[in-house]
Structure 1
Amino acid sequence: MRRFLFAGLLMIVVVLSACSNDSAEPASQEVVQDTVQSFYNEMSKFDEMGKSSLENFNTTLTSYSTGDATDKELQKAVDEFQDTASDIANQVSDVKISKSLPDTIQTLLRDSIIAFKSAYSIKEQASKSAVSPDVTAEEFNAMNQQADVAMLYGISKLNEARAAAGLIDPEESTEGLIVDPSEADAAAKTDTGAATTESTAGNTAN
């Protein structure tokens, strides 16, 4: 069933993107760039929050697998990561998209929001699975891979919006949160991309 998570995500994106976009008075190029940059900054903030929480979760899970962390410490790390992932997903949903932006950019930003929210929701579920005796290491890794693919899809849409706004060159290589859109395409086709620490951590799920 989890194999269809990303397919479901794409279906949701297509359906919501097809909804009517009644735009306000068109914004100037400068306003468009400022608005898209602000959106990018907001997504970057969430990305950093997620990375920090995930690093702590993975570290504790790895320590638990080697006997260096207790059940209580593991549960605390799981609870904290779940809370963070859920909080980020909710905050992403609350990010507003200006109706004065061109319809194409509005659609790209909306698609990125849907993908980012899905990624954090899946990671929240994956963290619960890490301490479940009913979830195998393969299933745990598959969930993390689906979350990574969703994240890459959202990143690619955000990249396209920045390029459309004239903030970056369409073929420009970027750092940090942003990656080349082709990487998201490759991830979607191969269904890979989970971090090594996540893959290692998943082995404790049995």
Structure 2
Amino acid sequence: MKRAWLIGLIGLVLMLSACSYNDSASTAALSEEEVQESVQNYYNEMSKIEQLGKSSREQFNETIAAYSAGTATSKEMEKAIAQFKDTATDISSQAKKVEISDRLPEKVKKLLDEAQIAFQSAYSLKEKASKGADSADVSADEFNELNQNADLAMLYGISKLNEARVATGLLEPDKDADPKAAADSKVVTGTDSKTVKP
């Protein structure tokens, strides 16, 4: 049910942004090599953003573990929460700024646009979760649900990005898997549990 709701929400946004596809027809098309380069550049940018998010989560979780074990102080925990929030906001902003060329073939551009919307949704949810990490107004269940929904959106985005990579010859299709599944994708989950306010 949760997955269907999230996919439906992303689908609604896609419908509202569909008019943008028609504008690309009037611009000069890219060559095959340029199309591959454009898709690869998008992949590289999103990979760098996700790596930043992964590193931030790892550092945050390490501090949580240390605080729970009594080897980190309340001040260190507060600093870790502040950094986690700042990084989540920065990542969400960066994801919105990654550009997609209007000169891509319509099918490829549509796939990247769908991936972009999903990634932006994922990072917005993660940003919202980070802001509630030490909030008494956000329960542990709500915190975990935000991260789980973000992971579902991320999975959807990765699948669309990999469809674009397959369509442009950058990635071999996985014949044994769901064509919409990420052939080489790895799910990076959010934090496992909500922190207790120090």
TM-score over 0.5 (shorter chain): yes
Which TM-score bucket, shorter chain as reference? 0.7 to 0.9
Contact 2:54-2:188 within 8 A present in 1 as well? no
TM-score normalised to the size of structure 2? 0.82
- SS of the aligned residue for 2:23 comes to coil
| Displacement after TM superposition at 1:182 (Å) | 2.7
Q: Deviations over 1:12-56 (max 9, x none)?
A: 133223544322111111111111111111111111111101111
Residue 194 of structure 2 corresponds to: 202
Task: Indicate whether 1:156 and 2:159 are aligned.
Answer: yes
Q: Could you say if the C-alpha distance between residues 172 and 61 of structure 1 is closer, same or farther in structure 2, counting changes exceeding 3 Å?
A: farther
Partner SS, residue 22 of structure 1: helix
Name the Cα RMSD after superposition: 2.7
User: Structure 1's 38 and 183: CA in aligned 2 closer, same or farther, altered over 3 A?
Assistant: closer
The equivalent of 1:188 in structure 2 is none
Count of residue pairs the alignment pairs up: 188
Q: Map 1:102-141 onto structure 2 (within 5 A).
A: 102-141=105-144
Matched, 1:97 2:89: no
Match of 1:10 in 2: 11
Q: Distance in 2 between matches of 1:129 and 1:59?
A: 18
Q: Distance in 2 between matches of 1:82 and 1:203?
A: 13
Aligned to 1:51: 54
Structure 2: which 5+ residue stretches go unaligned? none
Partner of 1:21: 22
The gaps in structure 1 that reach 5 residues or longer are: 174-179, 185-192
Contact 1:141 1:194 in 2 (8 A): no
User: Are 1:73 and 2:76 matched, yes or no?
Assistant: yes
